Structure 1
Amino acid sequence: MALFTYSSLTLVTSAIIFVVSLVRILRIGRRPSNYPPGPPTIPILGNLHLMPKRDAHLQFQKWAKEYGPVYSLILGTKTLIVLSSDQAVKDLLDKKSAIYSDRQDMYIGQELCSGGLRVLMMKYGPTWRMSRKLTHNLLNVSSARSYVPYQMLENKQMLHEILHEPQNVLQAIRRYSNSLTTAMTFGWRTPSHEDPKLQQLFSGFEKFAVLNQTGTAAIIDYYPILRYLPEFILTAQAKARELHRIEKELYVGHWLKAKQTIKDGSAKPCFCVDLARSQANEGFSDNQAGYISGTVLEAGSDTTSSTIYAFVQAMLLFPEVQRKAKAEIEKVVGPNRLPTMEDEKDLQYIRGIMKESLRWMPTTILGAVPHAVTKDDIYQGYTIPAGAGVMNNVYTINMDPVRFPNPRQFQPERYAEDFQSLGESAANPDASKRDQFTFGAGRRICPGIHVAERSLFIAISRILWAFEIRPRKDAAGNDVLPDAERLTQGFVCMPEEFVCDIVPTSKERAAMVEREWEEAKELLDMKTGQWKEIPKGMAFGSV
């Protein structure tokens, strides 16, 4: 009798444990009634089965139209709150940045791909704040003004490369943005777009961006228990580790090279000089220093070049904008000199093109990496739970037809009365007065916004001064035009590569591009392609 009772009790207990476990498992994927609305969920998956394999920004835009400016997605064990209005971003990511500046755990992206070191994906805390402070000193608005000599020289080389190799315009643009960033960060230029380290940077970051938004990598983040499965089942883990090995070799290698030049006295003044001093005081590792400097390199090279490439595409698709822009430049600058930063105040239409390029083709199309909230919050009557990801739905806000009528039209006139800098616009307390949301928001806003603004203005104004951007003709004489909706995939993106013809506006301007680059080369050691002397007044520390 006792045995029967014991066996029965064991059976009942096992049954209870099984039922409770089953109930808990089946609750995974459900949306609590007090969360913001969203698409219907199913057990275990939540909304994962609805996530698109490509062009996710279009689906996120559709959901915003259906469920409103603040909606939720239940992704396995995680919750994602999607902010699709300017006011929601202002209210939460800006005004409540003290609790909306964290990151969710990103096992693939941060732990495996980045060794826990990538500042972009780092959780909010002392290490992130230290890294942010260092990069702010390099990139703040007053520092940004001092880099104009770098930008001018790199721009002159870019124009020269476009003049002689117009079919390689993307490579010329990428070298321009990359060389500016390596000079500021490490003290050396990137003289050629064939530099293998430049090519590795863009190729590696593209693979990183794709891996971390799609497929198995995302599933592992949504179901952490899966990370314990063997790697022959989850091959994304091996891919992530290999990406990290290659990337670490690049970033830490750059840092150690700069550190050695500091030790042997051959270093040029640059960010790494200040970083080395901070390392001596703070005691952080060479790996961490490599990723702090690598973060600056990554951000400064990729976003700026992708936006300039989007501008080139827009000039193909909207020739009337190009005509108006060239007319303004002709009136203000004339044929006998290149535009400079001093012309910016008189080239409002060009400034509009710069801002419209950022809005029309946002490289951080879904806000790059979602923020995370550190404690429960209430917004518009809904609960935003602690630990939830919070997405700045950049594409949807930038394409809001109320803010921007006919949003897929490229119309610089939208900014005719907008005299704010990009930084001033982002900080404007009136959310409706912000120009675009591509650089992020709150404490996680891109610190390179001020440098990027100058790089974009100089590039756009001078390309328009020197060249005409025309469609390529096919065999029948028809224009070959790119599809503006064809974008690369991943959490950062750009237009898919396209063909075009870029020709000098005149022989005289082509000759001036040649002369300007010949004069600029006098500042360089032509054996190495490096500066003979760093221009005076740079913001970073001296050796």
Structure 2
Amino acid sequence: MDRSTLIIAIAGLALVLGTLRLLRIGRRPKGYPPGPPTIPLLGNIHQMPTKDAHLQFQAWAQKYGDCYSLMLGTKTMIVLSSDEAVKELLDRRSGTYSDRPELYIGQTLCSDGLRMLMMGYGSHWRMMRKMVHNLLNQNIAARYVPYQQLENQNMLNDILDTPNDFLHHIRRYSNALTTSMVFGWRTPTYEDAKMQQLFDGFSEFADINQTGPAALIDFFPLLRRLPDFLLPTKAKAKALHKAERELYLGHWLRAKEEIRNGTISQCFCVGMAQAQEKDGFSDAQAAYISGTLLEAGSDTTSNTLYAFVQAMLLYPEVQREAQEQIDRVVGKERLPTMADAEKLPIVRCLMKETLRWMPTTILGAVPHATNADDTYKGFFIPKGAGVLNNVWAINMDPKRAPNPREFRPSRYESDHLSLFDSASNPDGSKRDTFTFGAGRRICPGMHVAERSLWLGIARLLWAFDIAPMEGVDGKPVIPDQDKLTQGFVCMPEEFPARITPRSPARAEIVRREWREAETKLLDRETKQWLSNPIRI
């Protein structure tokens, strides 16, 4: 064989081998968990839903089991759809399952690698997580009640004034709570420009990361080399990061200045400034740590309370039963407080059922990832695979919750555990809800969220009746409980509701309590705290 023939033969063999290798992309290797049929190159990408993804992921779980796989171009996604699978892998094997998949659009371009939520598992993440835990743990979280009580009083008064804007008032409540606890100042009005930017940024972040181009860039890394004009999603992500970084850095630098001046109220940033001096992380990193907490606290709490309002509108018999218990325990002369919690089990049941019935992190927000090969039920799970916590499918499992789309708080009558203690239960079948995640990535703010939700639910029911709004035809407008917004964090599609005070006397108590708090605790001009209400 002459030299030219040999070269042609080698080139031909290389082409064949390259083609075969290319055609393996998207195929499900033998031994992987089962899943829907694949096609070359794309795998299951062409089957990924663009809307209501939770329903498709639930349908696949019903067909392929509680641990199935999706082949997404060059990547593998393992979907866990039972309490048993989540407890075994994300909790018990958390050392293997606490990483994150590479998220080029969400973490690299939108966040410059700084967003703690999407950061890979390593020493840097562990340092930040430990700091967040130390500043938001169960003992510290209990001391933030003065912030929660004040913002709740403000929310109730706002709903009395403009009840049709109840979503705005719920959002201001959750945002002001979070800015107070994280930065030491409050958001006094819904019209606050920085709060508007925050919620608009949520929406834009979800839109960018749910686009087809974003997924293709993640699943086919070679595409990242294309110029921005061919992939406008890249340019949008960079622009969002620029605006977001400016917002978060402005918040953090303001907090640092107030710490230096001795004018800041006790908050997360006080402890983070001390940690920064010790560990030396950058202002940009500190801005994104505090910004991530701001995102999480503002969005998830407000979405859950909004879902609760819808549930009371759709299930009036549940509302009446809860109000009867609150009236027996609290009476008509005062608002409920956290001191009433043990005597008001119905409120705990309502909170847990809302988190189950309408989980805001409907597909677990951001997938985990493996940092080593593993096996489960005889299936091979490769290193680097994404691992999705299929929250909707687990919460809607009829074995866990018969008739799961019915809002039924009585499911939790015998459950007296806090959200965190329930998540720590070694028996996954006894965990209340999977909305706050699992393993080492479980939400560090769940102690704070539990009190915020408890106060919101108890006081809304004490003060108001929630009923359908009448349409132009005189008939009640009944929202569809299965119509949800799209994105990493979701909520019911916007709906009207008629929210009225249960009596003139209760309305006056709401107004009096807010007037007294506003006069005694807040500056008349700025509506900020006159003095530090918390000692830590």
Distance in 2 between the 1:141 and 1:269 partners?
A: 16
Q: Deviations over 1:81-129 (max 9, x none)?
A: 0000001000000000011000011100000000100000000011111
Identity among equivalent positions (%) equals: 62
1:43 aligns with 2:35: no
1:332 maps to which of 318, 321, 329? 329
Amino acid at match of 2:531: E
2:286 paired with 1:289: yes
Question: Which of 233, 254, 257 is the aligned partner of 1:257?
Answer: 254
Q: Secondary structure at the match of 2:71?
A: strand
Structure 2 residue 223 is matched with structure 1 residue 232: no
- Equivalent residue of 2:278, what SS? helix
User: Is 1:352 aligned with 2:349?
Assistant: yes
Q: Residue 536 of structure 1: CA displacement?
A: 3.7
Residue 441 of structure 2 is matched in structure 1 by 444
What is the SS of the residue equivalent to 2:365?
coil
CA contact (8 A) 1:210 1:491 kept: no
Counterpart-to-counterpart distance in 2, 1:504 and 1:259 = 42
TM-score by length of 2: 0.99
Give the drift of 1:265: 3.0
Give the corresponding residue for 1:459: 456
Q: Which residue of 1 aligns with 2:273?
A: 276
Per-residue CA deviations over 1:409-450 (Å, capped at 9, x if unaligned) read 000000011000000000000111100000000000000111
Measure how far apart 1:269 and its partner are.
2.4
1:266 & 1:464 partners in 2: Cα distance? 37
CA contact (8 A) 2:144 2:534 kept: no
For 2:506, which of 506, 509, 514 is the aligned residue? Answer: 509
* Unmatched 5+ stretches in structure 2: none
What CA deviation, in whole Å up to 9, does each residue of 1:140-197 have, x standing for no partner?
1111111111110000000000010111111111111111111111111111111010
TM-score, normalization by structure 1:
0.97
Partner of 1:120: 117
**Separation in structure 1 between the aligned mates of residue 527 and residue 403 of structure 2, nearest angstrom:** 46
Gaps of 5+ in 1: none
- The answer on 1:15 being equivalent to 2:12 is yes
User: 2:533 aligned with 1:535, yes or no?
Assistant: yes
Q: Secondary structure of 1:287's match?
A: helix
**Correspondence list, 1:54-203, <5 A:** 54-203=51-200
Aligned residues: 535
Secondary structure at 1:293 match in 2: helix
Instruction: Name 2:465's counterpart in structure 1.
Output: 468
Whole-Å separation in 1 of the counterparts to 2:278 and 2:341? 41
Aligned partners of 1:463 and 1:22: how far apart in 2?
63
1:403 aligns with 2:409: no
Amino acid at match of 2:262: G
Q: Report the alpha carbon displacement of residue 207 of structure 1 after superposing the two structures with TM.
A: 1.3
The runs of 4+ residues in structure 1 deviating greater than 2 Å are 263-269
| Shift in Å, 1:263 | 2.2
CA RMSD across the alignment: 0.9
Q: Residues 214 and 490 of structure 1 are in contact (CA less than 8 Å); yes or no, is this contact kept in structure 2?
A: no
Q: Counterpart of 2:423 in structure 1: which amino acid?
A: A
Moved more, 449-458 or 225-234: 225-234
Structure-1 separation of matches of 2:227 and 2:292: 31
- Over residues 267-311 of structure 1, what are the superposed CA-to-partner deviations in whole Å (9 max), with x where a residue is unaligned? 222211211111111111110010011111111111001000000
Amino acid at match of 1:330: D
Point out the more displaced range, 69-78 or 253-262.
253-262
Give distance in 1, aligned partners of 2:292 and 2:440.
16
Structure 1 residue 475 displacement after superposition: 2.4
Report the AA paired with residue 182 of structure 2: T
SS of equivalent to 2:375: strand
- Deviations along 1:193-233, whole A, 9 cap, x unmatched? 11010111111012112321332111110000001112111
C-alpha separation between the residues in 2 aligned to 1:235 and 1:402?
A: 45
